[in-house]
Amino acid sequence: MPQTSPRPDAIIPDESIFDYVFGDIAPEFADKVAFVDSGATTTYSELKSMIEAFAGALAHRGIGKGDVVALHCPNSTTFAVAYHGILRANATVTTVATLATAEDVAKQLTASGAKMILTTSAIGWAGTHGAENAGFTEDQVVGLTGVHGIAEMLAEGHPAPEQDIDPSTDVAVIPFSSGTTGVPKGVMLSHTNLIANLVQVADGTPTVLGSDTIAVTPLPFFHIYGMNALLNLLLRLRATQYTMSKFDLGDFLEIIQDHKANFAFIAPPIAVALAKHPMVDEYDTSSMKTMLSGAASLKEELALQVEQRLNMDMVQGYGMTELSPVSHLRVGDGSPLNSIGTAVCNTEFKLVDVDSDDLAEIPVPESGHSAAGELWVRGPQVMLGYLNNEEATNQTIVDGGWLRTGDMAELDEHGNTYIVDRLKELIKYKGYQVAPAELEAVLLGHPDIADAACSGVFDRDGEEIPKAYVVPQAGAELSADDVMEYVGQRVAPYKKVRAVEFMEAIPKSATGKILRKDLKAMEAARV
């Protein structure tokens, strides 16, 4: 029997994402600061007016319902205005990674069918050159910075068009999945998908998020986590957010200290820095009350290190682009720190035995943990499907709307969920399944290891073995034998690390996911 959220279902409004976030700004919030961006402040009433003016400028340029507009812009007030301006113009946004190459940009413009790209000089020429490679004309490339940038567009004075949105079927955004294990796919998310998840996350975090929240937001807005769980949620709650165009530990700590930030959205690499970097002790972080980690699994030991060092609470969320993005939240002491907690409201889930012929559901155990199975999720936050890829859609959304996450998980007797690892990333050593995430958690517990990743490689006999990729702490004297011995003392014999490579940095996505496909590609190039 599928599991449900312990929280009662909530009403999901049937309206556009713009109306849900900005439609009713109460008088007490009109002059409240929504953004602090490089010292410049923007109030909620100013932000709404800018968005409507930008929508008018886009409509004047022929952008409307059915059109896709690419947005290539770092975290900023400009991003928020452009993003919501596109939506307010009844069009669809496809967000482009800030570090995308010109080739990446060209591929996404072509795949998404974009009619226009909005880009900035702040992140180089990739946007412009990518547009050229995709065959865009000069008037299809709009610069948001410079003399003829967004300020000039806002000053044109064109009224925003009438809204023409079917919330449940119209595609609001097409983010591209991170591609940690394969080629990125365009994920079609409706207005209802986005709104549903805002309702769900707000419902699950009333004790840690609200209008009194002062948040620092270093994670990229182009990614669904930053786009919906950070940007849109904080705007809907009428919180104040300090944006960061890119993560810098010193700047992050300075914002907390100088502006008394009490909430932060982070990813595991930031947690590693907060747990291990000596710079943290140079700043007053006493205002920080809660941090929510997402985008990748946060290990228990690492979470505890951050909590103890900063004297605050760690919250963990789980999700993916295809879930808009959240399906589970661990908030407060009701769920173990090493779990992703329970499902958000309006959400069903189950664990499926992928090795069984009938894909049998794994039951909740009477005690301890269940066997591991693939996590399946069903709810209003599940995507419409993959853009122009019916085959992939049908492989991912199955059996009456269940989304196959591709993540292996376990359940305890209270319904708490524990992510084991990606289904495709499990290492099969002599018939045993070894989860890279478990080994990474052990490695990060070593005082001389700054960062680490694990992946399966093949030895001379064709046997897949666990290999560790290790970034030593500065000045540490660490050998491969030291690493293997450390891990071997803490795991079952079949889980031992059998090879070690030292690196300057672990390849990761912008949101902190380990890019194991890059590690595998590196190994393949050596053969």
The Cα angle at residue 364 between residues 363 and 369, in degrees rounded to 5: 115
Q: Which residues pair with 316 in a beta bridge?
A: 293, 330
**Is 2 a residue whose pLDDT tops 60?**
yes
The pLDDT tens digits for 457-486 are 887 766 788 999 999 998 899 999 999 999
C-alpha–C-alpha distance, residues 83 and 462, integer Å: 49
> Residue 261's pLDDT band (boundaries 50, 70, 90)?
very high
The pLDDT tens digits for 187-241 are 999 999 999 999 999 998 888 899 999 999 998 899 899 999 999 999 999 999 9
Both tokens of 158, joined, read 């064109």
Least confident among 93-102, 346-355, 471-480, 516-525 = 516-525
> Residue 180's pLDDT band (boundaries 50, 70, 90)?
very low
The pLDDT tens digits for 439-455 are 888 899 899 999 999 98
Q: For residue 499, give every residue at least 6 positions away whose Cβ sits within 8 Å of its Cβ, in sequence order, or none.
A: 457, 459, 465, 466, 467, 468, 480
Q: In the prediction, which pLDDT does 461 show?
A: 63
The pLDDT tens digits for 35-46 are 999 889 999 999
Angle, helix 268-276 to helix 300-310, in steps of 10 degrees: 50
The DSSP output letter for 338 is: T
> Residue 181's pLDDT band (boundaries 50, 70, 90)?
very low
Q: In the prediction, which pLDDT does 493 show?
A: 81
**Is 508 a residue whose pLDDT tops 90?**
no
The pLDDT tens digits for 138-171 are 999 999 987 678 999 999 999 999 999 999 999 9
The pLDDT tens digits for 303-335 are 899 999 999 999 888 998 999 999 999 887 778
Determine whether 8 is exposed, middle or buried from the number of CB atoms within 10 Å of its CB (0-12, 13-18, 19+).
Answer: exposed
First to last CA, the chain: 47
* Residue the block writes with tokens 């290190």: 305
Q: In the prediction, which pLDDT does 269 show?
A: 79
**Is 432 a residue whose pLDDT tops 70?**
no
What is the percent of the chain where pLDDT is above 70?
Answer: 96
Task: Flag whether the pTM goes above 0.85.
Answer: no
Domains and CATH numbers, the chain: 426-526 (3.30.300.30)
Q: In the prediction, which pLDDT does 66 show?
A: 96
Q: In the prediction, which pLDDT does 433 show?
A: 66
Q: In the prediction, which pLDDT does 337 show?
A: 83
Q: Exposure pattern of 383-399 as b/e (b: 16+ CB <10 Å)?
A: bbbbbeeeebbeebbee
The residue among 180, 149, 171, 147 whose CA lies nearest residue 86 is: 171
Listed in order, strand segments (DSSP E) in 273-391 are: 290-293, 313-319, 326-330, 342-343, 348-352, 373-378, 385-386
- Beta-strand pair 263-266/240-243: unpaired
The pLDDT tens digits for 74-93 are 999 999 999 999 999 999 99
Q: Are 32 and 26 in contact (CB under 8 A)?
A: no
Cis peptide before 325 (omega within 30 of 0): yes
Q: In the prediction, which pLDDT does 236 show?
A: 97
Higher pLDDT, 495 or 164: 164
CA atoms within 13 A on the CB side of 279: 13
CA-to-CA separations, 251 to 122, 216, 231, 466, in angstroms, rounded = 18, 10, 19, 37
The pLDDT tens digits for 45-57 are 999 999 999 999 9
297 three-class SS: coil
290 — phi, psi (to 5°)? -145, 140
For residue 426, give the amino acid letter: L
